[in-house]
Amino acid sequence: MSETPDLGPVPERIEIEAAQVRRLVAEQFPQWTALAVRPVDNGGWDNRTFHLGADMVVRMPSAAEYAQAVEKEHRWLPVFAPLLPLPIPVPLAQGEPTSAYPHPWSIYQWLDGVTATADRIADPVQFALDLAGFLVALQRVDATDGPQPGIHNWYRGGTLRTYDENAQAAFEELEAYVDVELAREIWANSVDARWDRVDRWFHGDVAEGNLLLENGQLSAVIDFGTCGVGDPACDLAIAWTLLTADGRQAFRNRLSVDDPTWARGRGWALWKALATYRSTYDDSEDAETAAGAKHVLDEIFAEYQDS
């Protein structure tokens, strides 16, 4: 893979309505025609998600780039499921493109739970340990024939240099708002941190929206659209975006993460926070998102200086 692969244009998303999903289900899976179809609350960005009856969910890619994950998930999620300590989505059926909807799509088993926000987590350290245990098990899955980083997952699992141009642009634009000198130092440290080049499985988007809780405890991990094999450091970003300081240390210890891998993980967290803050810092209608990104940046800066 090139050190700086072309990320391509911003995906052109399509709107998907419940009535359209209902027609597709009726046409391709008539056994489920009688089941109600309704949007899932906060139903996703890469995919539009809909309840199908009480026990299933329909995931419709919102752009061609995201549709590349459908075959991958149907191929690998049945492999992962018996090897992981927490439930993950189980694919039940794969829908075909039609003249009315141009992408493959999926029906999955519905998993109960609420998204893992900081205020909902009962025990932050136990949550961190449970999440680390899940990632340890995922990394142990045989990586042979797994998908390498590419446009199907926006080069997760590859080099951070892919995003250097984005990071440099953020440094310039945010100079008056964040400690850019420190951010540049952290970024350079992350980009230069070595990787042993051993392919391991990673989820690719370990974020609060993809972690489910029941009674305050981690109960499931969803949305493997960005999974692949390569450098699993991208899965460490959650240490700064959601975990407490104590949880972060427990997470690192459970994963037995060395300094270079931790640095790369920090770089992934920095890139995500910079990108989010850059797109929201001057938008009064998105002040909450901007404040969240700024908090993550502060966490990254403090942890880096302490270490």
Per-residue pLDDT tens digits for 82-92: 999 999 999 99
CATH classification (class only), 18-111: alpha beta
Using 50, 70 and 90 to split pLDDT, how confident is the model at 1? very low
Confidence of residue 43 (pLDDT cuts 50, 70, 90): confident
pLDDT value of position 13: 83
Q: Minimum mean pLDDT among 12-16, 94-98, 110-114, 180-184: which range? A: 12-16
pLDDT bracket for residue 30 (50, 70, 90):
very high
Contact 283, 290 (CB under 8 A): yes
Percent of the chain with pLDDT over 70: 97
CA dist 283 → 74, 162, 170, 278 (Å):
39, 27, 16, 10
Tell me the pLDDT tens digit for each residue of 237-257.
999 999 999 999 999 999 999
- Look at residue 124 and tell me whether its pLDDT is greater than 90: yes
The pLDDT, as a whole number, for residue 187 is: 98
According to the model, what pLDDT value does residue 42 have? Answer: 81
pLDDT above 90: residue 4: no
All structural domains of the chain with their residue ranges: 18-111, 115-306
18-111 and 115-306 in the same fold: no
β-pair partners for 250: none
Fold held by 115-306: Aminoglycoside 3'-phosphotransferase; Chain: A, domain 2 (3.90.1200)
